Every structure is written in C-alpha cells, then in structure tokens.
Amino acid sequence: DELDAFVQCPQCGNPLTPFNTEAFMDALSTEVVAPMLETSELVASMPYVTRFYTTLSAPEMDLDPLFDFNPDLDDVSNAHGAERVFECDPSITINEAPSRVELEDGGVVRLPPGATTWPWNPDGDDAPPANAIVAQLSTSGPGMVVTDNSAAIDQALQQHNATVPNVDSMALTTAGGCSVSSAPTGLLTWLGLAFVGLILLHRRLGPFSG
C-alpha cells in the first residue's frame, strides 16, 4: 500500500518504511531464485521439452499460467508426413495424371492433374475444420472430448474427392508413358539443330587421322 501511494503521487511526500535489504534478499531467493532452480531441475529431468503457444486476454494477465503433467498420455510426435501418389496410366504423361495425398490418419485428398496447391484456402468458407478433435485434459486419463470434427472433415473430403476425375473416366492421349513428362517443343528443336550442326562441322573438318 505504501509503495502504491508513493508511485501514484511521488510529490505528496508519503513516507516509506525504511528499506530492509536482508528481508528483500530473502524474499528474492524464495519467490524468484528458488522457483527458477526448481523449474530448471524439472526440465532437465525430462527426456524432451514441448513448446507451447498460448494467448491470454487482458483480464487474465494478472495470473501466471500453471502446467501439469499427465502420465497416462502417450508421446505424440512433432513430425508429420504424407505421401502423394500419382495415378498413372501408360497412355498419359505424369502432368496429365490425377493424384492423391494419403495422410497419416488414413484420410485421402485427391488432386486434379497439374495441381500444385492444397484444394482449400484455410480462410475459405468451404474449408473443413482445422482440428479433428478438441479435448480438455487433466492430470490423469485420456481427457474429455469437447469438439469432434471428424465427421465434418470426412464429409468435406468425400465431397471434394468426388469432383476429381480418375484415370478411367479421363479422355486419355497417346503422348507417352506416365513416367515421363511431355517435352517442350522448343527444346527438341534446339537439340535437332545442334545435331545437324555437329554433322556439318564433322564433314567440313574431314575425318581424323592417327
């Protein structure tokens, strides 16, 4: 209270209790140094550390966040992957082939020929939910599911995948195998001219003699 009154009106001459250096150092050790050492020991005793990202609204900024451990939960990898499979056919090039992305959870996202981006804009109205499961966890057990978006995501995938043609329904060409891409016409022209130039140069110089 004395410090608050002094900060609000320094010129008012409000007296402050004489500063107790020993009491201050004891409080600093108890409230600041000791918790930091305990936290450091706790972190060092664990095999890995998970980075959290959180935000607080202004009314909540007067409280420090607390973290608990749940020994019943399995480890979750921070590395995620997917496999893209081109649906080839001998009568089309790879640029003409549709493809599909197989996700870790078994989901499949089909892509039309030539696609280089994801089929949804995350901010678009037609985008599926970004999270499949929202769960509230405690210090034990698997947690309580608050929101389950699995059905909505599956429906969005089915509707999108139905719009991408498969190889059987496409009008196929005979431009080459699916293992190669169609060669640019300009490149073939330059290669042909270079070959002709080598022949003319060889005729002009004549055969080499040993």
Tens of pLDDT, residues 99-149: 999 999 899 999 999 898 888 888 888 889 989 999 999 999 999 999 999
Q: Are 85 and 102 in contact (CB under 8 A)?
A: yes
Higher pLDDT, 152 or 54: 152
SS3 208: coil
The model's pTM? 0.58
pLDDT at 38: 94
- Reading the block at residue 16, the tokens are 């402050």
Which tens digit of pLDDT belongs to each residue from 50-89? 777 777 788 877 877 777 888 898 888 888 899 999 988 8
Q: What is the 3-state secondary structure (H, E, C) of 129-172?
A: CCCCEEEECCCCCCCEEEEECHHHHHHHHHHHHCCCCCHHHCCC
